[in-house]
Amino acid sequence: MIKEEPGTVPMASTVISIGSETPVRDYVVWSLFNTVFMNVCCLGFIAYAYSVKSRDRKIVGDMTGAQAHASTAKCLNICALVFGGLTTIICIIVLTTYKGF
């Protein structure tokens, strides 16, 4: 324990706690890309709808809701990208191996 000398003033300190909230990504651009180019079973459009919902929740201040909608949009975007890529690859394989032309 530190002893203070008589006649001295103890030092005061102020601690400012700044909340480090991680920004919630809404995946609107990725969803728009999947809507325009890889809209297999309308997954891109549904992902776009969830992305817009996530952005709306973020503007209102509901970060939990925004994160939930963003997570759903991310999963739908991944599915749309995988299914769209597989469909494109299968079409290329079928068209290049088909000897009927």
Residue among 45, 41, 54, 50 at smallest CA distance from 86: 41
Torsion of CA 23, 18, 57, 84, to 10 degrees: 10
Instruction: Give the model confidence (pLDDT) of 19-38 as tens digits.
Output: 656 788 999 999 999 999 88
| Other beta carbons within 10 Å of 95 | 9
pLDDT of residue 69: 96
Spell out the domain ranges in the chain. 28-97
This prediction's pTM: 0.73
Residue with tokens 């817009």: 52
Distances (CA, A) of 86 to 1, 29, 40, 45: 70, 21, 10, 18
pLDDT in tens, the chain (101 residues): 566 666 666 677 787 766 656 788 999 999 999 999 888 889 999 999 999 999 999 999 899 999 999 999 999 999 999 999 999 999 999 999 987 65
